[in-house]
Chain A
């Protein structure tokens, strides 16, 4: 019982001693549990960006102080830690979350306490919260261009949509199914399969995909397989001798980081679609990669969500400077139209729907685990509500003019101000 009281006292004391001197930046990424594999990198990215900013003299004459918490891949903890960051630590901004469910867990807290969060990962869209800036890709910035590439450049006629069983693959595949049908692909030419997180036994699924070729149509795989399950998938693909010329695979969740976990010599030519590749030939990128390697070691790679944090953080810094304060509402207003050069040579713009305009890159996997960029579009504005599902097509998000994240353009009403969790 003593310990109980003691712990409570400790809590109380930490709760009380939160004087507000420096500018605090909350980092809400899992450092343990299943998502640590992806999120730890982003924590390190944030620490690097904050250090660099401090070397430049901080922000508004004050030092930036990172507050790192560990939500441990436990989704309810994202809500708890977000509340702690906002109300106990009183951070000015949060950079964090990876999975959609963790974002949706933190959302109600952010909206209740009027926090500000930057979310750096490609996601399924269908959301626009007043308190979140989505610096990763929406489906129209990744999935749709990649599918177009399959249809137009590779002449794929039959699609295998393979994904991990959670909201991002489910929603993305739903959008893609509708999109493909609109493009004249028959329902029976779309094969969908979902596997659990961390799935490792891929022999049967790869065999199923190969068998799809039996009716003489060119088969392509669109993979939303998440995280380390990809390693087993690609190993099985390589073992089965599936070449990218016969059955190309385009992945939305496989970047440099995932490839560093396996030997890519048998995967050369398979594709990934992102807004950023480490191989992008651009001075700003070279500098970023160099700084990262100097900090973390030569064998470390950079990836798309890191660029998203890079853009998001710098935009936030500029917005704070423009607003002259870290006050959330002022910063949010200053964010709209904020421009920052992205690492692939263009300029990212923050749109009133809290998404970025970013170019879409398609890369072919190389033997060294890097990507050969074979297609780069102009900047595509991110779309919060997809145009390819009937119930979302009528919705639009505009926080600057309409002040609404879910505006029905048919009835001209705001459906709701807070998010649909």
Chain B
């Protein structure tokens, strides 16, 4: 790499006249055809050297084109070309040196060169020199990005010069920041480095931490006495901040102490001294316990046939005779001290931000659970009916979104169409289910569970038969792509924010419907006392039907939302059904606020447990459910218990 860069500098300084064709770009490439065709990060450096040595002015453009996968190999004549356009057949070939069209070739003869991303990174790094001084701003940005990805010590000076000359204010700012980052790593002057480190105090960006953390990398050093002139991080005491086991292993590894006797070594030694079916006088057949084998080994050691096993006392002695130190790889103490101070303030902030980020995640999860469960809560609360097919209404909504996207290709419009359509279709399905099945089971609530379960498996299999078992794409519009990034620690994807807003909207809408409309009044009346309500002129059948439709319709909308951030499969609904049940039960049946509380509790609980046990998400879910079971023991009616008929019994 260093050699390459030196030659690049030479190249930039002495751009000579174009050389004869033999040493031209194409010729160099021909000489290295394999290395070009099957470029690897390991083989690309000599090739770049050769290209630079050719001094062809076409090299920078070639490197850029190569990097962009725009170079093609004509398999007939073995030469490399650019193409005028990939779309035509035959394609028009463009000479890589002159940039002029030189004929055509059938597309089948052409092979595209596809350097892998490692090679592309090397190419980008090699191009930095040309691009930092380019007139085109996009090229300068590309150069800065390349340095950000893989910085070399030589980049520092060049970048300093480029930053001083940069006219664009925004890019200049970015360059200045990058100069300081590079200074931390590469500046020869410790004072400059310390200044750069201090300039980043309490900056939580990942690249800043990436520059600071390596400064504090340590290694463990073993010596028989305190060494001079090392940048000591701390001293380790075996048994205290270093286990005696690990300490002794370290001594063995460095050859400062004899290895402990392992079972494997012992058994090998016994076999080696097996004579006439006997080891040290003990018959082989009796060596079928660990104790017998150890005893045999001890006998061999007594006879001086094998080295005696290391004793505890010897281990202690060896440990006492040595010092164990943690030493910084960075030799300058002022630099490590500055880095430690800066990092300490950064880490504090990172912890704070991380908990905020976790809070956002929890909020997002809670809003998803809320959306999935609220429809269930309504039907459950008003009618006391367990709708096992609720998950399938979610699925119906998601598939509606998919179908709409097949018809309307514009993602924004299709989502705007899909949301009400999903509501309508799920509403209709819900009303149909209520009229055809649930109404007939009104006095047998547990049997509705059974019937709706039947509907659930039938619908799931129907979806499989219609849409196939593959996951179907439901793509969010471009303005929902990406994330809201507050800093490098706190960010949340826009689609989750959209779901949160949707959940909030439905919360508001439902509260409005239930407390401010005639329909809501009737629903509440039926919830509390259906007979009384009916004698007041309310038709409970109609209310039940509409409520069921409403709950199902909301499930349909939840389906679109869930499909947008996860996947659309026939199993989509069943993945949420148990969580939805628990949300409703934990929150308290028949109450929107209860569902909200339930979703909030389950969502945040799950995130907190995940945070405590980051390597096992499965365990987090187990603990959460166990917590819920215990929670129900103490609040059997949920967080917000309702009085009236829904309270049951």
Is A165 a contact partner of B566 (Cβ separation < 8 A)?
Answer: no
Contact with A32, one of B41, B358, B461 (Cβ below 8 angstroms): B461
Question: Per-residue CB proximity of A202-237 to B under 8 Å, as 1/0?
Answer: 011101101101111100000000001001100110
Question: Per-residue CB proximity of B468-496 to A under 8 Å, as 1/0?
Answer: 11111101000001110100110111111
Is B617 a contact partner of A199 (Cβ separation < 8 A)?
Answer: yes
Is B571 a contact partner of A240 (Cβ separation < 8 A)?
Answer: no
Is B206 a contact partner of A263 (Cβ separation < 8 A)?
Answer: no
Is A153 a contact partner of B473 (Cβ separation < 8 A)?
Answer: no
B515 at the interface (CB under 8 A from A): no
Contact with B567, one of A155, A262, A372, A374 (Cβ below 8 angstroms): A262
Is B566 a contact partner of A232 (Cβ separation < 8 A)?
Answer: yes
Is A260 a contact partner of B615 (Cβ separation < 8 A)?
Answer: no
Mark the stretch among B192-200, B209-217, B636-644 that contacts chain A: B209-217
User: Size of chain A's interface in residues, with CB distance under 8 A?
Assistant: 63
Q: A203-B496, A245-B149, A262-B475 are in contact. Are A215 and B214 (CB under 8 A)?
A: yes
Is B492 a contact partner of A153 (Cβ separation < 8 A)?
Answer: no
- Kindly report which residue of chain B lies nearest to residue A39, judged by CB atoms: B469
Residues of B within 8 A of A215 (CB): 209-210, 213-214
B180 at the interface (CB under 8 A from A): no
State the CA gap A258–B364 with chains docked (Å).
25
Mark the stretch among B111-119, B310-318, B382-390 that contacts chain A: B111-119
B321 at the interface (CB under 8 A from A): no
Number of interchain pairs (Cβ within 8 Å): 169
Is A37 a contact partner of B470 (Cβ separation < 8 A)?
Answer: yes
A269 at the interface (CB under 8 A from B): yes
State the CA gap A399–B615 with chains docked (Å).
40
CB distance from B385 to the nearest CB of A (A): 27
Is A266 a contact partner of B481 (Cβ separation < 8 A)?
Answer: yes
State the CA gap A155–B44 with chains docked (Å).
14
Is B114 a contact partner of A152 (Cβ separation < 8 A)?
Answer: no
Residues of B within 8 A of A257 (CB): 470
State the CA gap A334–B430 with chains docked (Å).
59
State the CA gap A46–B149 with chains docked (Å).
46
Q: A195-B617, A210-B206, A261-B473 are in contact. Are A231 and B117 (CB under 8 A)?
A: no
- Kindly report which residue of chain A lies nearest to residue B610, judged by CB atoms: A204
- Kindly report which residue of chain A lies nearest to residue B212, judged by CB atoms: A216
Is A194 a contact partner of B149 (Cβ separation < 8 A)?
Answer: no
State the CA gap A262–B565 with chains docked (Å).
10
A373 at the interface (CB under 8 A from B): yes
State the CA gap A263–B481 with chains docked (Å).
11
- Kindly report which residue of chain B lies nearest to residue A34, judged by CB atoms: B571
Name, among B210, B483, B493, B562, the residue most crowded by chain A CB atoms within 10 Å (CB to CB).
B493
Residues of A within 8 A of B206 (CB): 210-211, 213-214
State the CA gap A68–B512 with chains docked (Å).
54
Residues of B within 8 A of A177 (CB): none
CB distance from B504 to the nearest CB of A (A): 18
State the CA gap A260–B472 with chains docked (Å).
7
Residues of A within 8 A of B614 (CB): 193, 204, 208
Residues of B within 8 A of A208 (CB): 614
A419 at the interface (CB under 8 A from B): no
Residues of A within 8 A of B392 (CB): none
Question: Per-residue CB proximity of A139-168 to B under 8 Å, as 1/0?
Answer: 000000000010011110000000001000
Residues of A within 8 A of B464 (CB): 32, 36
Residues of B within 8 A of A165 (CB): 616, 618
Residues of B within 8 A of A37 (CB): 469-471, 569, 571
Is A374 a contact partner of B114 (Cβ separation < 8 A)?
Answer: yes
Contact with B116, one of A36, A239, A266, A375 (Cβ below 8 angstroms): A375
Contact with B571, one of A198, A214, A266, A374 (Cβ below 8 angstroms): A198
Is A240 a contact partner of B617 (Cβ separation < 8 A)?
Answer: no
CB distance from A372 to the nearest CB of B (A): 6
B575 at the interface (CB under 8 A from A): yes
State the CA gap A373–B176 with chains docked (Å).
39
Residues of A within 8 A of B212 (CB): 216
- Kindly report which residue of chain A lies nearest to residue B472, judged by CB atoms: A261
Name, among A200, A239, A375, the residue most crowded by chain B CB atoms within 10 Å (CB to CB).
A239
Is B361 a contact partner of A203 (Cβ separation < 8 A)?
Answer: yes
Contact with A240, one of B42, B115, B483, B567 (Cβ below 8 angstroms): B483
B237 at the interface (CB under 8 A from A): no
CB distance from A292 to the nearest CB of B (A): 14
State the CA gap A263–B119 with chains docked (Å).
26
User: Size of chain B's interface in residues, with CB distance under 8 A?
Assistant: 65
Residues of B within 8 A of A199 (CB): 617
Question: Per-residue CB proximity of B614-637 to A under 8 Å, as 1/0?
Answer: 111110010000000000000000
CB distance from B358 to the nearest CB of A (A): 7
Is B618 a contact partner of A204 (Cβ separation < 8 A)?
Answer: no
Q: A214-B206, A240-B491, A364-B117 are in contact. Are A200 and B483 (CB under 8 A)?
A: no
Residues of A within 8 A of B41 (CB): 152-155
Mostly, the A contact residues are: mixed
B97 at the interface (CB under 8 A from A): no
Q: A203-B492, A203-B496, A239-B482 are in contact. Are A228 and B618 (CB under 8 A)?
A: no
B36 at the interface (CB under 8 A from A): no
Is B121 a contact partner of A194 (Cβ separation < 8 A)?
Answer: no
The residues in A between 398 and 418 inclusive whose CB is less than 8 angstroms from any CB of B are: none
CB distance from A48 to the nearest CB of B (A): 16
State the CA gap A152–B118 with chains docked (Å).
9
State the CA gap A262–B470 with chains docked (Å).
11
Q: A204-B361, A204-B607, A214-B213 are in contact. Are A153 and B618 (CB under 8 A)?
A: no
- Kindly report which residue of chain A lies nearest to residue B213, judged by CB atoms: A215
State the CA gap A362–B119 with chains docked (Å).
14
A192 at the interface (CB under 8 A from B): yes
CB distance from A337 to the nearest CB of B (A): 30
Name, among A153, A215, A257, the residue most crowded by chain B CB atoms within 10 Å (CB to CB).
A153
B365 at the interface (CB under 8 A from A): yes
A368 at the interface (CB under 8 A from B): no
A341 at the interface (CB under 8 A from B): no
State the CA gap A210–B350 with chains docked (Å).
13
CB distance from A249 to the nearest CB of B (A): 12
CB distance from B476 to the nearest CB of A (A): 8
Is A261 a contact partner of B567 (Cβ separation < 8 A)?
Answer: yes
State the CA gap A245–B124 with chains docked (Å).
11
Residues of B within 8 A of A228 (CB): 471, 567, 569, 571
CB distance from B301 to the nearest CB of A (A): 26
B70 at the interface (CB under 8 A from A): no
Question: Per-residue CB proximity of B23-60 to A under 8 Å, as 1/0?
Answer: 00000000000000000111000000000000000000
Is B617 a contact partner of A235 (Cβ separation < 8 A)?
Answer: no
CB distance from A240 to the nearest CB of B (A): 6
State the CA gap A232–B564 with chains docked (Å).
9
Question: Per-residue CB proximity of B57-81 to A under 8 Å, as 1/0?
Answer: 0000000000000000000000000
CB distance from B609 to the nearest CB of A (A): 11
Is A198 a contact partner of B121 (Cβ separation < 8 A)?
Answer: no
Q: A257-B470, A261-B471 are in contact. Are A241 and B482 (CB under 8 A)?
A: yes
Residues of B within 8 A of A244 (CB): 117
Is B357 a contact partner of A216 (Cβ separation < 8 A)?
Answer: no
Is B213 a contact partner of A204 (Cβ separation < 8 A)?
Answer: no
State the CA gap A37–B469 with chains docked (Å).
4
- Kindly report which residue of chain B lies nearest to residue A203, judged by CB atoms: B361
A196 at the interface (CB under 8 A from B): yes
Is B214 a contact partner of A262 (Cβ separation < 8 A)?
Answer: no
A201 at the interface (CB under 8 A from B): yes
Q: 10 closest Cβ contacts across the A-B interface? A: A261-B471, A239-B493, A153-B118, A216-B210, A215-B213, A231-B567, A214-B209, A200-B566, A36-B469, A263-B475
**Residues in A lying within 8 Å of B, measured CB to CB:** 31-32, 34, 36-38, 40-41, 149, 152-155, 165, 191-196, 198-201, 203-205, 207-208, 210-211, 213-217, 228, 231-232, 235-236, 238-241, 244-246, 248, 257-258, 260-263, 266, 269, 362, 364, 372-375
Question: What would 19 A/B residue contacts be, using CB atoms closer than 8 Å?
Answer: A32-B464, A36-B469, A152-B118, A153-B42, A153-B116, A155-B121, A165-B616, A191-B615, A193-B616, A200-B562, A207-B357, A214-B213, A216-B212, A232-B565, A239-B493, A240-B491, A241-B482, A262-B473, A262-B475
